[in-house]
Chains A and B, each alone.
Chain A
Amino acid sequence: EDKVVQSPLSLVVHEGDTVTLNCSYEVTNFRSLLWYKQEKKAPTFLFMLTSSGIEKKSGRLSSILDKKELFSILNITATQTGDSAVYLCAVTFGDNFNKFYFGSGTKLNVKP
């Protein structure tokens, strides 16, 4: 059965802390893994990862994919209250990129 699993389900930290969010997957014909941030409505795109071991960075956020161990991590350094959101991991897979599954998300709460 194809699945995408995120951990932890929720996390509470204080401003300035560093957090690591995890996403593991078991799918057939993996194509790419994507990270999204969802605050109130539609998720906003953060990263797309297709190759193992290549870190992608955007400001205080970074992400890396391990295709051998079938997981990805999303790191946020020097967290701010504006980072509070649900972080979603999604995987595209299938013979024709035709499947796009999300994990359950990690709810991050950054306290002042």
Chain B
Amino acid sequence: DGGITQSPKYLFRKEGQNVTLSCEQNLNHDAMYWYRQDPGQGLRLIYYSQIVNDFQKGDIAEGYSVSREKKESFPLTVTSAQKNPTAFYLCASTDRGRGAFFGQGTRLTVV
């Protein structure tokens, strides 16, 4: 079955550490997105990528980095520069403006 897989489901990070969240899709979608969601809030766009080896910043890119070396994969690194990283992170992919498919999310907590 096609879909998007995010891992891990839960992640704990110590202050000052970088962590990488995985997002893999086998839907052959061109565009992939990373969103951050805080309690009671909507989804805010961190980064998006339309094609391999190309990505653009969203509204809240500071403290995050991404790569798109393969069409199937769009990992997000939360760097130590992100001062408030505790949140729920969602990865999505779309195919030419059709409905997005979402992963199940990663809940990141700073300890």
Q: Point out residues on A near B: beta carbons under 8 Å.
A: 6, 31-32, 34, 41-43, 45, 48, 86, 88, 90, 92, 96-105, 107
Closest to B91 in A: A42
Q: B31, A100: Cβ atoms under 8 Å? A: yes
Q: B33 contacts which chain A residues (CB < 8 A)?
A: 100
Measured CB to CB, the closest approach of chain A to B80, in angstroms, equals 27
Q: Number of B residues contacting the other chain (C-beta, 8 Å)?
A: 25
Q: B45 contacts which chain A residues (CB < 8 A)?
A: 100-102
A6 to B43, CA, bound (A): 12
Q: A6, B97: Cβ atoms under 8 Å? A: no
Q: Point out residues on B near A: beta carbons under 8 Å.
A: 31, 33, 35, 40-45, 48, 50, 56, 88, 90, 92, 94, 96-100, 102-105
Closest to B92 in A: A100
Closest to A99 in B: B48
Q: A100, B48: Cβ atoms under 8 Å? A: yes
Task: Provide 16 A-B residue pairs closer than 8 Å at the C-beta atoms, listed in order of the A residue.
Answer: A41-B88, A42-B103, A42-B104, A42-B105, A43-B43, A43-B102, A92-B97, A96-B50, A97-B31, A97-B96, A98-B31, A100-B94, A102-B35, A102-B43, A102-B45, A107-B40
